[in-house]
Chain A
């Protein structure tokens, strides 16, 4: 039974501190990039619409 349980356990690895720090920094970089992309698309939409952003014909 114990052997069966061991067979189904996933292969994992323990991250050391440097690897954890690298992962945290990667996550921060991805988060900032995605947030930056949202801001870019938002501002670019306002810029491209210009004064028409206030024109609501409904």
Chain B
């Protein structure tokens, strides 16, 4: 049998997706959180940066974060197709070919790291490269399908952007930028496990050992509460550094208390629709919490500069 065919019998060849499909590969919602936290890291950092260079840094961080998303979707296309939450992504829908997504993600990764390294500074570029490598090789390829601690360790990738923003201004890493990293790092497990609790069947079906699948809902509820108890005081900690002042401290303490209260609800309500509802409430609030914590640091910095 010949591989060659006439025009009329030609098989449908992959022709590539529309621009919006490639945009969806970048996980724009995740990207927006990275941009925001990186921006706060830049504003909070001591020193000055040219606004145009700052814009380039944010753009490179955004593109790097998006490229990680595209590479993650390329690698996880098989399980994405089976999961309700992810089956509408461009690769499972057949809108973008896996090889195209791989090329797209790789080119953007390289360009974003080079741009940040050459035009801003090498520390920021190296941190962005580390973030992308960590998300793809450590989380997506190594941990995600092997251990229930996947999200705990893999969460580091999402925690790097404020540290990169800080490094873009200062050229280095300091205790303050490590604190910003730590807030997101400790926030990630309760945030993601709240989602995993009510999406448990999805992960079970595809054999991804998320904590509710591997250790059960009860253990997950306890872990959520434990991480929340660790995270609430950590959210207040910037008030004791140059990152923010006492008003922020009170604000963060209130937010942390609400987070803990929601986490306790998840721990307390074990069965039925109320349990799912509690997990959904915690998941929704966790996004708002992170936005408000970083927003609080941003406002504190701006007010401090206006008053200075």
Question: Which A positions have Cβ atoms within 8 angstroms of B?
Answer: 6-15, 19, 22-23, 25-26, 29, 37, 40-41, 43-44, 47-48
Question: Chain B's interface: helix, strand, loop or mixed, by majority?
Answer: loop
Once bound together, how far apart are the Cα atoms of A50 and B59, in whole Å? 22
Residues of B in contact with A, size category = 20 to 34
CB closest residue in chain A, given B51: A47
| Complex Cα–Cα for A26 and B119 (A) | 27
User: Can you name the residue of chain A whose Cβ is closest to the Cβ of B3?
Assistant: A11
Residues of A within 8 A of B52 (CB): 43-44, 47
Q: Which residues of chain B are near A13, meaning CB under 8 Å?
A: 10-13, 15
In the bound complex, how far is the Cα of B16 from the Cα of A14, in angstroms?
13
Assembly CA distance A37 to B108 (angstroms): 12
Residues of A within 8 A of B53 (CB): 44, 47-48
Task: Compute the total of residue contacts between A and B using a CB distance below 8 Å.
Answer: 62
Q: What chain A residues lie within 8 Å of B152 (beta carbons)?
A: none
Q: How far, in Å, is B76 (CB) from chain A's closest CB? A: 23
B106 within 8 A of A: no
Q: How far is the CB of B87 from chain A (nearest CB, A)?
A: 21
Given A6-B4, A8-B4, A9-B6, the answer on whether A26 and B11 have CB atoms closer than 8 Å is: no
Contacting residues, chain A, for B18 (C-beta < 8 A): 22, 25-26
Evaluate contact between B4 and A26: CB separation under 8 angstroms. no
Query: When chains A and B are docked, how far (Å) is the Cα of A41 from the Cα of B59?
Result: 13
Across the interface, which residues of B come within 8 angstroms of A22, CB to CB?
15-19
Q: Beyond the given A23-B16, A26-B22, could you list 19 further A-B residue pairs with CB under 8 A, ordered by the A residue number?
A: A8-B4, A11-B5, A11-B10, A12-B7, A12-B10, A13-B10, A13-B11, A19-B15, A22-B16, A22-B19, A25-B18, A29-B19, A37-B111, A40-B56, A40-B59, A43-B52, A44-B56, A47-B52, A48-B53
Query: Which B residues have a C-beta under 8 Å from some C-beta of A?
Result: 2-7, 10-13, 15-19, 22, 50, 52-53, 56, 59, 111, 115, 119
Chain A residues whose C-beta falls within 8 Å of the C-beta of B111 in the assembled complex: 37
Minimum CB distance partner of A10 in chain B:
B4
In the bound complex, what is the Cα–Cα distance between A26 and B3 (angstroms)?
Answer: 29
Which residue, of B12, B15, B22, B50, has the highest number of chain A Cβ atoms within 10 A?
B15
List of B residues within 8 angstroms of A43 by Cβ = 52
Residue of A nearest to B108 (CB): A33
